[in-house]
Amino acid sequence: MFHCGKFQFDLSRPLVMGIVNVTPDSFSDGGRHLSAGDAIAHAMKLIEDGADILDIGGESTRPGAAIVSEQEELDRVLHVIEGLRGISVPISVDTYKPGVMRAALVAGASMVNDINALQTEGALAVVAGSDAAVCLMHKQGKPQTMQEQPAYQNVTDEVGNFLRERMAAAEIAGIARERIVIDPGFGFGKTLAHNLDLLRGLAAFGTLGVPVLAGLSRKSMLGAITGREVGDRIAASVVSALLAVQRGASIVRVHDVRETADALKIWNTLNEG
Ligand code: 8Y7
């Protein structure tokens, strides 16, 4: 069982986490979701399209993106979370700032998606003091510079050790295992070869005993393989999500919810026979 605030999932079928960016510099959406109203409308469409969870983010963490102040991030995400009160799916807040986590949880979020794996001072306590779920993600370096020289001896082992250590820290802080998911962090301080190693070895993370989340949607590794621009990576993204699920991912974080949900319907139907 996966506990996400008042929501629970048995994970007998993979979940689709739909991405809602409330950032003017979001490359994948071309900055279309600037206003809270637009983001709310987009979120509602993603639910209609089959999203099981919504991930609301107010600061782009792509390589080279600008850092956003806590106040600006709050201004962006809080109106959206408040505007989505009463929806049928849990809201995840994509942030590494404890102040944003706390305010988002008060406003109704049920999950924290933290690319910093609760390493920021105070972050463990905020999540521990709630009933929210958390996604602990691996990254190497800081978003601004992480793609400059990513280096590992063995990327799968090193990412696995990091995630095991952060799971332990979360559990010691009082976050029950049922509330934790882990994520190797595709593209976060990784070369194409590293990302491919992680996808090939994704099943290994399943042995850590909590659900695995995979985020490959529209990422540059898909561009490197297909030669397609970011707006033209839907097929590559859907296939990648399915390949991650095939290797044990329980949650896929995607932009193209409708197409991904279709792919997973085929997967689910095939597995029910
Ligand atoms: C991921 C993510 C991003 C991911 C998790 C993008 C916020 C870059 N990627 N969170 N966030 N996993 N958990 O291309 O892979 O969406 S931002």
Does the pLDDT at position 28 exceed 70?
no
- How does residue 84 score in pLDDT terms, banded at 50, 70 and 90? very high
Task: Provide DSSP, 249-261.
Answer: -SEEEES-HHHHH
Q: Whose CA is nearest to atom 14 of ligand 1?
A: 219
What pLDDT, on the 0 to 100 scale, is given for residue 242?
98
Q: Which of 110, 108, 202 is nearest to 155 (CA)?
A: 202
Pocket of ligand 1 contains residue 140 by CB under 6 Å: no
Does the pLDDT at position 27 exceed 80?
no
Find the mean pLDDT for residues 232-247. Answer: 98
Mutate to test the pocket of ligand 1, among 188, 240, 251 (most ligand atoms within 8 A of CB): 188
What pLDDT, on the 0 to 100 scale, is given for residue 33?
47
What pLDDT, on the 0 to 100 scale, is given for residue 61?
77
Domains and CATH numbers, the chain: 2-272 (3.20.20.20)
Q: Whose CA is nearest to atom 17 of ligand 1?
A: 61
Does the pLDDT at position 230 exceed 70?
yes
Find the mean pLDDT for residues 238-246. Answer: 98
- How does residue 30 score in pLDDT terms, banded at 50, 70 and 90? low
Q: Whose CA is nearest to atom 9 of ligand 1?
A: 215
- What is the whole-number distance in angstroms between the Cα of residue 154 and the centre of ligand 1? 22
Q: Which of 116, 143, 137 is nearest to 23 (CA)?
A: 143
Does the pLDDT at position 87 exceed 80?
yes
What pLDDT, on the 0 to 100 scale, is given for residue 52?
98
Q: Which atom of ligand 1 is nearest to the CA of 61?
A: 17
Burial class (CB in 10 A: 0-12, 13-18, 19+), 228: middle
Pocket of ligand 1 contains residue 61 by CB under 6 Å: yes
- Tell me the average pLDDT of the chain: 94
Please check whether residue 16 is in contact with residue 264, taking contact to mean a CB–CB distance below 8 angstroms: yes
Q: What is the Cα–Cα distance from 8 to 134, expressed in whole angstroms?
A: 13
Please check whether residue 77 is in contact with residue 20, taking contact to mean a CB–CB distance below 8 angstroms: no
Pocket of ligand 1 contains residue 219 by CB under 6 Å: yes
Q: Which of 252, 221, 195, 241 is nearest to 53 (CA)?
A: 252
- What is the whole-number distance in angstroms between the Cα of residue 51 and the centre of ligand 1? 16
What pLDDT, on the 0 to 100 scale, is given for residue 147?
86
What pLDDT, on the 0 to 100 scale, is given for residue 143?
85
What pLDDT, on the 0 to 100 scale, is given for residue 213?
99
What pLDDT, on the 0 to 100 scale, is given for residue 26?
44
- What is the whole-number distance in angstroms between the Cα of residue 251 and the centre of ligand 1? 12
Kindly state the DSSP code that residue 212 receives in the 8-state scheme.
Answer: B
Q: What is the Cα–Cα distance from 267 to 260, expressed in whole angstroms?
A: 11
% of the chain beyond a pLDDT of 90: 86
Mutate to test the pocket of ligand 1, among 253, 254, 255, 260 (most ligand atoms within 8 A of CB): 253
- Burial pattern 141-172, b for ≥16 Cβ within 10 A else e, equals eebeebbeebebeebbeebbebbeebbeebee
- What is the whole-number distance in angstroms between the Cα of residue 187 and the centre of ligand 1? 8
List, for residues 151-210, the tens digit of each pLDDT value.
999 999 999 999 999 999 999 999 999 999 999 999 999 999 999 999 999 999 999 999
List, for residues 208-229, the tens digit of each pLDDT value.
999 999 999 999 999 999 999 9
What pLDDT, on the 0 to 100 scale, is given for residue 24?
67
Burial class (CB in 10 A: 0-12, 13-18, 19+), 192: middle
Q: What is the Cα–Cα distance from 96 to 30, expressed in whole angstroms?
A: 23
Spell out the alpha helix ranges (H) of the chain. 36-49, 70-83, 98-107, 123-128, 155-173, 192-200, 220-226, 234-246, 257-272
- What is the whole-number distance in angstroms between the Cα of residue 215 and the centre of ligand 1? 6
Find the mean pLDDT for residues 55-61. Answer: 89
Pocket of ligand 1 contains residue 113 by CB under 6 Å: yes
Phi, psi of 52 (to 5 degrees): -90, -25
What pLDDT, on the 0 to 100 scale, is given for residue 184?
98
